[in-house]
């Protein structure tokens, strides 16, 4: 048998063996896989929408979030059999509120002409940035936990 044909046959066998391992063993773990338009974790997928991100379980919508990390946290927890959806959605709402406030205050500092208004917004920006960072860290704990 030609060496070229033999090596191709071995390559096909190796690929088939790897596919079997992937199907049988790795599907038991919550490893995310990224496709063209979504992130998949077991039977859950996260897709970007006009309003933010949505989590689906086999094409059935589960939740909608403002941040991608919140949607991934929901999908990961649900794929591991834990339902922290309401807590993550609350954190997502708070983080998005403070993030939106932060954008508004930054715009005010950039475009406003009154010095006292600019100073008050700068003081609020640092406080609001800490709140937003705190809530996003709490969301990340669900993604990187355990």
Residue 133: band (very low, low, confident or very high) from pLDDT cuts 50, 70, 90: very high
Residue 29 pLDDT more than 80?
no
pLDDT at 122: 86
Rounded-to-integer distance, Cα 61 and Cα 50, Å: 15
Give the residue-averaged pLDDT of 30-53: 86
DSSP 8-state code for residue 36: S
Rounded-to-integer distance, Cα 27 and Cα 20, Å: 11
Residue 87 pLDDT more than 90?
yes
* Percent of the chain that is helix, strand, coil (3-state, to 5): 65, 15, 20
What distance lies between CA 42 and its chain's CA centroid?
Answer: 14
Rounded-to-integer distance, Cα 96 and Cα 100, Å: 6
What distance lies between CA 6 and its chain's CA centroid?
Answer: 44
Residue 46: band (very low, low, confident or very high) from pLDDT cuts 50, 70, 90: very high
pLDDT at 3: 56
């Amino acid at each position: 048998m030609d060496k070229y044909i033999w090596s191709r046959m071995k390559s096909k066998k190796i690929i088939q063996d790897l596919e079997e391992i992937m199907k049988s063993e790795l599907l038991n773990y919550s490893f995310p896989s990224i496709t063209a338009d979504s992130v998949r974790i077991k039977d859950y997928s996260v897709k970007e929408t006009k309003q933010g991100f949505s989590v689906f379980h086999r094409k059935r919508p589960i939740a909608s979030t403002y941040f991608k990390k919140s949607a991934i946290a929901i999908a990961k927890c649900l794929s591991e059999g834990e339902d922290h959806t309401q807590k993550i959605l609350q954190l997502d709402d708070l983080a998005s509120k403070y993030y939106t406030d932060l954008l508004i205050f930054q715009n005010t500092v950039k475009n406003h002409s009154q010095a006292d208004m600019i100073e008050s917004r700068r003081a609020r920006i640092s406080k609001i940035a800490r709140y937003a960072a705190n809530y996003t860290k709490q969301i990340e704990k669900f993604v990187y936990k355990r």
